[in-house]
Amino acid sequence: MYTILGKDGQEYGPVTEAEVRQWIAEGRVNAVTPIRRQDTSEWRPARELVEFAEALRAPDSPGAPPRIAPEQPVAPEQPLRAAPEGKASGLAIASLVLGVLGIVTCGLTAVAGLILGIVALNKSSKTGDHSARGFALAGTIVSAVLIVLLPLLAAMLLPTMATAKQKASNINCMNNVKQLCLGLMIYADENNDTLPLADKWCDAIVSYIGNESVFKCPQGANTERAHYGFNRKLSGVSVKQIESPATTVMIFEVSGGWNASGGADEMLATPRHKSVVIGFADGHCETVPVSGRLKTLRWDP
pLDDT at residue 126 greater than cutoff 60: yes
CATH fold of 1-83, please? Answer: Dna Ligase; domain 1 (3.30.1490)
Predicted local distance difference test score (pLDDT) of residue 63: 45
Mean pLDDT of 265-291: 86
Q: Exposed e or buried b for every residue in 156-179, given b needs 16+ CB within 10 A?
A: eeeeeeeeeeeeeebebbbebbbb
Residue 66 has pLDDT above 80, yes or no: no
What pLDDT is attached to residue 158?
65
Nearest by Cα to 228 from 301, 296, 178: 178
Contact 176, 205 (CB under 8 A): no
Residues in the chain: 301
Quickly state the pLDDT bin for 80 (edges 50, 70, 90): very low
Q: Please check whether residue 13 is in contact with residue 44, taking contact to mean a CB–CB distance below 8 angstroms.
A: no
Helix (H, G, I), strand (E, B) or coil at 177: helix
* Average confidence score pLDDT of the chain: 81
Encode 273-287: b = buried (16+ Cβ within 10 Å), e = exposed.
bebbbbbbbeeebeb
DSSP three-state, residue 224 = coil
Q: What is the pLDDT at residue 191?
A: 94
Say whether the peptide bond before residue 14 is cis (omega within 30 degrees of 0): yes
Report the amino acid identity of residue 222.
Answer: N
* 242-269 pLDDT tens trace: 999 999 999 999 988 899 999 988 888 7
Q: What pLDDT sits at residue 163?
A: 65
In this structure, of 21-30, 67-76, 129-138, 279-288, the range with the lowest mean pLDDT score is 67-76
How far apart CA 102 and CA 84 sit, in angstroms, is 31
pLDDT bracket for residue 151 (50, 70, 90): confident
How many angstroms separate the CA atoms of 77 and 25, rounded? 13
Distance CA 30, CA 43 (A): 14
List the strands of the sheet with 249-253, edge to edge. 261-262, 228-231, 249-253, 275-280, 285-289
Report strand pairing: 34-37 vs 11-15.
unpaired
What are the residues facing 2 on neighbouring strands?
A: 15, 37
**Nearest in space to 253 (alpha carbons), one of 300, 287, 283:** 287
Q: What is the pLDDT of residue 241?
A: 92
What are the angstrom distances between the C-alpha of 184 and each of 212, 227, 240, 258? Answer: 14, 16, 14, 15
Q: Determine which of 129-138, 186-195, 231-240, 279-288 has the lowest per-residue pLDDT on average.
A: 129-138
Quote the pLDDT of residue 228.
Answer: 94
Residue 121 pLDDT class (50, 70, 90 cuts): confident
Can you tell me the distance from the alpha carbon of 185 to that of 51, in angstroms, rounded to the nearest whole number? 105
Q: Is the pTM of this model over 0.75?
A: no
Task: Report domain extents, the chain.
Answer: 1-83, 90-157, 167-296
Of 118-132, 160-174, 247-261, the one with minimum mean pLDDT is: 160-174
- 157 pLDDT higher than 50: yes
Mean pLDDT of 155-169: 67
pLDDT at position 50 is: 84
Do β-strands 228-231 and 261-262 pair in parallel, antiparallel, or remain unpaired?
parallel
Residue 81 has pLDDT above 80, yes or no: no
Per-residue pLDDT, averaged over 277-296, amounts to: 85
**12 forms bridges with which residues in the sheet?**
4, 82
Percentage with pLDDT > 70 across the chain: 85
With vertex at residue 42, the alpha carbon angle to CA 11 and CA 25, rounded to the nearest 5 degrees, is 55
